[in-house]
Structure 1
Amino acid sequence: MSLFAWLRPASASLTPEQQQRRDRLPAPAPLGECSLRQQRWVVLDLETSGLNLNRDQVLSIGAVVIEDGAIDFSQQFERTLLRVDHKLSPSVLIHGLGPSAIAAGCDPAQALLDFMEFVGDSPVLAFHAPFDQHMLGRALKDSLGYRLQHSFMDIAELAPLLCPQANIREAGLDDWIDWFKLQVGERHHAAADALATAELALILFSRARQQQIHSPLNLQQRLNQWKRRQQAPSF
């Protein structure tokens, strides 16, 4: 039995070719001391059938890559709508996802394999990253028997850390877009939201360098320190 066989639930029914692709996925790299500019980042946005972490499903995946200090438009990922088998909440209409579009979605295992090959060993950025990390991790476990172990960093936490003068700690993505006066043509669509998040991330990386934060590891350490201060009781 493979060392990782215990990670693969019996519900993950894959073809031999899909199993080979899953087994060839690279191990995630830890956050290191290279410069923020040198690091390849995958900026992720998911559209889901709702906000229930244990019941709702991933409907679509959008992602872009930040590399060499810029958004690399030659590296973009979008999978229209993962197919789901139960009746969806009307809330999905906010994403423009009608029943015919959802029914035409690609096979979840195929889409998730494509995405993880796109991610490679890179760390992931997302707005409200714990939600995306949990939903993606559950989808990967259910469809591929794969355990997600990549580093995730939350733009919703980095923004107030690096821009305390904004005084909008509990802000959503739209609030930060407005605060930085970003021109975003489309929202509530996975690919478009990933691009907006990537634009925000580039501004934050610039602010980080101004504050003598130069590496992904240093940024994570500074974020951890900030979160501990936020959680400390005040007297």
Structure 2
Amino acid sequence: MSKFTWFTGRGPALTHSQLERLRLLSEPTEFDERSLRQQRFVVLDLETSGLNMRRDQVLSIGAVVIENGAIDLSRQFECTLQREGHRASASTLIHGIAPSEIANGVEPVEALLNFMEFVGDSPLLAFHAEFDQRMLARALKQSLGYRLRHAFFDVAEIAPLVCPQAKLNHAGLDDWTRHFGLQVQQRHHASADALATAELALILFSKARQQDLDNLPALLQQLNSRRRQLAHSM
């Protein structure tokens, strides 16, 4: 029997064990009336070979878990992906991942399966989430033939919604962490950025609860309303 089983068309080749793990991945959870404190989130940050969402690759994944209203430091994910032929570029100066680290990284199929098993059925949080969502979705499609359906919430969008008085409508992660006096040990490192984003998210969730935005449907409704207002003001 062949070691590999192919998907139809031009999909990736996976071992039978990998196919079984893929089959057992959790379906994303449905939004319900649980409070934000009761909701499990996975906070994600990616380091990539560049900013081109059609061409560049995911090099590193860092993630932490928010559960029961706190960051669970015992549940963290950190992985550098192996990328054949990767060379140093301008982005290397930002993320600091040497080509030798990438050459010795985890094979992408295994890395992405490990990560999605870590995610489970939870919604995902990221800062400027559209980039992370699209890069992760493309990596999963290319390596696993898997279509990402998990919800993403953008912390960069939640922050001005619940803190309009800060007047930081187009601010970056550094701006918001400074605004709240958070100490960030290291930037442009996937795990450190994920932890900083999670700390910021907990502050924002506390402020959201004070505004009666204490579950995902209510929060999403207000985010959609703000998007429409911004679209009309352009």
The bucket for the TM-score relative to the shorter chain is: over 0.9
- Residue in structure 2 matched with residue 138 of structure 1 by the alignment: 138
Q: CA deviation at 1:88?
A: 4.6
TM-score normalized by structure 2?
A: 0.94
**Secondary structure class of the residue paired with 1:37:** helix
2:188 is aligned with 1:203: no
- Residue in structure 2 matched with residue 3 of structure 1 by the alignment: none
Structure 2 unaligned runs (5+)?
A: 1-6
**Secondary structure class of the residue paired with 1:182:** coil
Q: CA deviation at 1:85?
A: 3.2
Say if 1:8 and 1:144, in contact at 8 Å, map to a contact too: no
Aligned pairs (5 A) from 1:149-228: 149-228=149-228
Structure 1 unaligned runs (5+)?
A: 1-6
Q: CA deviation at 1:48?
A: 0.3
TM-score normalized by structure 1?
A: 0.93
| C-alpha distance in structure 1 between counterparts of 2:171 and 2:161, whole Å | 12
Q: CA deviation at 1:233?
A: 3.4
| C-alpha distance in structure 1 between counterparts of 2:180 and 2:47, whole Å | 24
Moved over 6 A (4+): none
Amino acid corresponding to residue 181 of structure 1 in structure 2: G
| C-alpha distance in structure 2 between counterparts of 1:169 and 1:224, whole Å | 16
- Residue in structure 2 matched with residue 233 of structure 1 by the alignment: 233
Amino acid corresponding to residue 191 of structure 1 in structure 2: S
Paired residue total: 228
Aligned pairs (5 A) from 1:124-135: 124-135=124-135
- Residue in structure 1 matched with residue 87 of structure 2 by the alignment: 87
Query: In angstroms, what is the RMSD of aligned CA positions?
Result: 1.4
Say if 2:86 and 2:99, in contact at 8 Å, map to a contact too: no
| C-alpha distance in structure 1 between counterparts of 2:10 and 2:32, whole Å | 35
Amino acid corresponding to residue 19 of structure 1 in structure 2: L
- Residue in structure 1 matched with residue 40 of structure 2 by the alignment: 40
Amino acid corresponding to residue 132 of structure 1 in structure 2: D
Structure 1 stretch 138-147 or stretch 162-171: which is displaced more? 162-171
- Residue in structure 2 matched with residue 4 of structure 1 by the alignment: none
Deviations, residues 164-191 of structure 1 (Å, cap 9, x unaligned): 1111111110110111110111111000
Deviations, residues 6-34 of structure 1 (Å, cap 9, x unaligned): x9762411111001100110111122210
Against the structure 1 CA distance between its residues 9 and 72, is the aligned structure 2 distance closer, same or farther, given a 3 Å change threshold? Answer: farther
Say if 1:60 and 1:82, in contact at 8 Å, map to a contact too: no
Task: State percent identity of aligned pairs.
Answer: 63
